[in-house]
Structures are given as C-alpha cells and as structure tokens.
Homo-oligomer: A and B are copies of this chain.
C-alpha cells in the first residue's frame, strides 16, 4: 500500500541524504541534480512504479530510465530504498570495481540501458514503450526522468515527435525543471509554459506541477497513467539542491559534492533507513508472433544481385523462421530493402521516418526487452546516431545496424550520400563486428548469424549488383573470409571486400595473363578479421594489397595492418582507398578516380 505524504516526504529527504552521502564518499558526483528530483522519485516508487526489484528479468516490470544519468546518486539512493542494494554498496559509488558507476549502466539491475549522454534516455524509452505496445502487448509502463537542460537536444524532440505520432500512452516523461544548467540558467528557466506548449504541439499530454508538492505529484502520476490516448509529460518545477540552503537554487553548485555534507545531512533531518515495498507488476502473457518457417533465399552462381536486395529477402525469411526478429528503417526502406520485411511482417516493422537517432534508440529499447531488432538506413546516415551507437555498447545492447549505399560506388548521388568512414567509426565501438559481404549468398548467411551475435553488429550493403561468387551452401561466418581466386597463388594477395572484390578478380585475371599469380581474399568480415587467412596470405605471398571503398583511415587496410602487427608478420602492404574528395559520376568513373578499381590494383601489384 502507498504511504501518506508524511512518509513520502521523509523518503524524499532520505533520497537527498543518501545522494549527499554517496557523492561525499566518492568525492565527486551530482548531488544537487539529484536533490531536485528526490520528491518526484519518492512518490513514483511509493505507489506508481510497478517493478519487482527482486526479479529484474520479470517481463511485466515497468521500466525506469534516468535520461539525466548524472543524477545517479538519486538513482542509487532509490535502489537502496527499494531494497535492491544495501547502504554499504551505496557508498561504493564511483569507486573502482563498483557496479554503481558515475552514470547508471546495466551492470546494476534492473537498469535497462546506460545513460549519461544527455537526450538519449527518452528516445530509448520510446523504444521500450513501442515494445510494450506493439510487440509484448502487455501493460508495463516506461517512466523516463529527464533534465531540463537536455530538452535542448534534438534527440529529445525526435522522441516527442515519434511518441506523439504513435500515441504511446504507456510512456511517461518526468522533466525535473530545476532551472539551472552546468554554467548558467537554462534557456527557459522555470517557464513551464514554454515546455507545455511544445508538448501539446508534439501530441503529448502535459501536466505542470510543483515538483516538491507530494500530493500534486501523486495526482500527476495518476493523471498520466489514466491518459490512454497519448504519452504524458510531467513538467515539474523543482529547486536544484533542494533542502540545503548552502546549495539550493544556486549557480556554481553543479557536479560536485557538497562542501559540508555533514551539515547538509543535519539540515535534511539526518540519516534515515526507510524501505519502500514497490508493488510487483500484474502478470501477463507477452504476445508472440507466429513463425511459419521459411528457408533463406539462395542465389545461383553468376547471378547479378545487389547485396541490399539480398538483405531484404534474407531478413524477411529470417522473420518467418523466428518470431523475435524486428525491423526498423529510417524512411528509405525501398533503398535498404527493409521493405521486404515490412511486407512480410508488418506487425514487427517500425517506420522511424527521417530520424536516425530515434531509429537507433528505438532499437536499443526494443532489444532491452529481448527482441532482435535490425535497424537500417543509408550507411552515411548512421553517422547521425554515432553517439547512440557508442552508448549502446556501454548499454551492453545487442544491436544490428545495416547501412546501404556506401562508398563512391554509389555513383551519381555524390559524397553526402557516400559512407566512407563507416568502417572506422563502427570498428571503434567496443565489442563491435563490422561486415561487408561482396555477394548475395554471403549476405544471407551473415544476416542470419547477426541475430544471435552479442554486441553491436554492423553490416554494409551495396547499392549496385555484384556477381554471386559464393556457392549457396558454402559456409560464411562472422570472422571468416573467402579465397575468391588463386588459393595456391603466391606472387601477391589482394584483400578486398564489397564493391572492390569484383575489381580484385578482374585485376587478378589481367595479371594472370602476364604470368603473375594473385590470390584474392574476400574479407567480408572486417572486424573480426580472419587473422589466419590474412597471416597465411602474408606468409605465402609476401606482398599484400588491400583495396576498399572507404577513406584510408580505420578500414580494411588498417584492420589488416593491425592483425599483422599482432601476429608479428611484416610483409609489404599496399593500401588502396579513397583519398580525394569524390564528386558525382558513374560508379566506374569514381572507383577509377579513387584508385580502387582493377587498374589501380594491377598497378599496385606490379609496382616493385
């Protein structure tokens, strides 16, 4: 049973005291940003949140995301109050080895995702709410605590836009409008009406409230839960550092422990040891999707197929084989071919429109509930969500990203549409894998294997058709490679991927006419790279030529050099990559100009 306001007031003070104590013990942290939201959290956990903290994996649990992740002292103080951690662990905050990191991560259950990069918690919450409304189809609610400073982030408005449009009534945002940012007042201070008007314009139900009036907060949550046709946002006017005169509503008190924590604790009424029994959620049966079964597509040798087309067919078939597969796309599904999945499995497809941050964030939220999302757009535009991908790795998210239309080989559209940095950016994500198949059959197998891969998995597909060279039954796997030509050739080895593989084949054929025998290695898995095959090529051939439709930095050539350095092999390595800024032209013209076509490969092999 929920308690009365007196208890809740005491609980709020306890959350403040524990925020002050944890930050003092750490010697760093954000106590004042925690104190402003303490009453909001006290009322939330005492009567509104439905979460079995003893069973974080309970599928019916509500979800609570601290989008303002720097209020981690408050988050951990709540975990103590609900019995998920004890006081001794609370005081390990920010210490080496502690689960209580400077900003929340899934290392401490039931935390779904990492936060700390502002503006990400709400769009991820949209993903969880989507999963609840459209996939699980049960009654859990997603609560997201936001700061007012982060309302300047565009990603917040992508979330407002999408959730309002999709009428996600199972989503409640709580904005802690404490007026003060890190260095100055926020853009709109305590002018809640500005935020209210925006919320209304974006299709949300706004509720303005004094964030320290416990009864008003209680009514606001009740109103939010009873609003069933749209998401709600509680706009709470609060005081940063509330409860301690030395810091309350003052600039210069952001992100540091209190100068005199003992005095502050006294002012807050001293330490307490209240416990709240958070109600457990009502059990429900999550929806599951029929999986009638389907065989993956097969392509015959010699067919000309774009790998993006193979992606669409493979994903649609995978969706028929498994009911947990989900697809999202950034309003280019007829380019990425996610449209094939959409046509086959409309209930598991989400059109995220031109909003790549929300696209990736939604996938992060959806995977947090155990679904297996594939998120696709043009490869170049995944760069729009790079911070979200970086954070997804900290969230220990299992994410499948698919980028089409990369490199100069797209031709006429010009450099704005050409991902030339995607390998570098995605390789530099912790635990990631980076794949770039050169033909349709490779694509089919990699798409399937990605489903069970942990971490961030990135697949680059091609706009143009390539010849199917991999037999449909030949195994292809993450971390593998394929000798496309010249298994016993030793004059040189050309390491290629994607659009440069046909160029390497063409070059090898031309060189063979001159008696130069070249091995062509199809490095469809760039991270992890097939070290054995690369080292064998180095040992047996001496000269390696890498060729990729990517800038010289951080791609296939870099991966090869890294692998060889680790293996203590030191062959000659010539790296062909795009070095000048491309313009428009035909794919062949642009690949020639960039020096990544058969002509350039022939020259690189011949140069002594």
A413 touches B103 (CB 8 A): yes
Report the minimum CB–CB distance from A75 to chain B (whole Å): 13
B183 and A332 contacting across the interface, CB-CB below 8 Å: yes
In the assembled complex, the Cα of A386 lies from the Cα of B417 at a distance in Å of 14
Q: From the candidates B391, B413, B428, name the one contacting A425 in the complex (CB within 8 A).
A: B428
A118 to B355 Cα, complex, angstroms: 9
Using an 8 Å CB-CB cutoff, how does the interface string of A136-176 with B read, 1 for contact, 0 for none? 00000000000001101111111001100100000000000
A29 to B101, CA, bound (A): 50
Give the nearest-CB partner of A572 in chain B: B568
Complex interface residues of chain A between 562 and 600 (CB less than 8 A to chain B): 562, 565, 568, 570, 572-575, 581, 583-586, 589-590, 593
Cross-chain contact B198 with A354 (CB below 8 angstroms): no
Residue A561, interface by CB 8 Å: yes
CA distance A461 to B417 in the complex (A): 32
Contact A182 B331, CB 8 Å, known A390-B383, A551-B430: yes
Contacts of A420 in B (CB 8 A): 428, 430
Expressed in whole angstroms, the Cα–Cα distance for A276 and B153 within the complex equals 41
Residues of B within 8 A of A115 (CB): 416
A117 within 8 A of B: yes
When A154-B155, A161-B152, A416-B394 are in contact, do A573 and B584 touch as well, CB less than 8 Å? no
Contact indicator per residue, chain A 428-461, by CB within 8 Å of chain B (1) or not (0): 1111000000000000000000000000000000
Q: Which residues from B are CB-within-8-Å of A355?
A: 152-154
Q: Given A149-B331, A154-B153, A384-B386, are A565 and B573 neighbors across the interface (CB < 8 Å)?
A: yes
User: Is A554 an interface position by the 8 A CB rule?
Assistant: yes
Q: What residues of chain B lie closer than 8 Å to A581, measured between beta carbons?
A: 393-394, 430-431
Contact A198 B202 (CB under 8 A): yes
Asked whether A421 lies within 8 Å of B414 as measured between CB atoms, the reply is no
CA distance A184 to B572 in the complex (A): 51
Contacts of A575 in B (CB 8 A): 562, 565
Q: Is A552 an interface residue (CB 8 A)?
A: yes
Contact A114 B182 (CB under 8 A): no
Q: A354 is contacted by which of B27, B118, B573 (Cβ under 8 Å)?
A: B118
Pick from A8-16, A89-97, A210-218, A504-512 the stretch touching chain B: A89-97
In the complex the two chains form, is B158's CB within 8 Å of A153's CB?
yes
The reply to whether B412 and A394 contact each other, CB–CB distance below 8 Å, is no
CB closest residue in chain B, given A158: B154
Given contacts A421-B428, A552-B562, 20 further A-B contacts (CB under 8 A): A96-B586, A102-B417, A114-B415, A117-B384, A149-B354, A150-B354, A153-B154, A153-B356, A165-B188, A184-B331, A197-B197, A383-B390, A384-B386, A390-B421, A420-B428, A424-B428, A425-B425, A427-B553, A527-B553, A553-B558
